[in-house]
Amino acid sequence: GILRARGVRGLILAPVPDVVHLPEFPWEYFAAVTICNMLLTPRFHRLQTEHGENLTICLAEMEKRGVQRIGYVADAKVDRRTGNLAVSRFAFHQLGLPAKRRIPPLIWDTWKAGEFASWLERYKPDAVVCQGESGVPPHAVLQQRRYRHIHFCLVAAQLHLPQIAGALPRHELLGAKAVDLVSAAIAHHDYGPPAEPRTLYIPGVWREAIR
């Protein structure tokens, strides 16, 4: 009621940490887009970082460094929230490698440093690509002397963690495109959930670690 009284006709729904259903909201009065894929009901046009392409960017950067054995680790919740795009791309990449270079992903529901260390000792990766909220827990383990030779990067690098390399999401572009989509919908009086919701994926750009 407050939004309508103030003449607000467009909504940009920010990322949320878990699956959301909002069927009771009066969407018919608003043009809306989401910047994530966790709003399941109703479905709107949505934008999100192309985590699969980000994973490819990370792999390419590691291979430039001559890395042969690359491992993938992820927080299961984050992997699901991003549509499993990164782990799917990693699995496809592994199929094209000789068996001796393949490393099974480590996906955790609850972070356990000992489990990560055991995985490192068993598979001996030369580089680790991480999909997580910050990557800080595995990065901290790799700061131990015995692991410092292992390269580390994030599928979604964080602005507040410049010391960790990775594919940096272009949040400013995601925001600008969201405004464009909502503005176009308002101009065409296209309110409520669209009949054919679309998804726009935007890849990130590589950022080196700042020591």
- The pLDDT of residue 153: 97
Q: What is the pLDDT of residues 27-80, one digit of tens each?
A: 999 999 999 877 888 999 999 999 999 999 999 999 999 999 999 999 998 998
**Residue 16 reports pLDDT greater than 90:** no
Average pLDDT on 133-146 reads: 91
Q: What is the pLDDT of residue 133?
A: 78
pLDDT digits (tens, 9 = 90+) for 172-189: 999 999 999 999 999 999
Residue 130 has pLDDT above 90, yes or no: yes
| Residue 134 confidence (pLDDT) | 77
Tell me what pLDDT residue 4 has: 92
Write down the pLDDT at residue 19.
77
pLDDT of residue 189: 94
Spatial neighbors of 77 by CB under 8 A, at least 6 apart, are 17, 18, 109
- What is residue 117's predicted lDDT score, i.e. its pLDDT? 97
pTM, to two decimals: 0.89
Residue 81, pLDDT score: 85
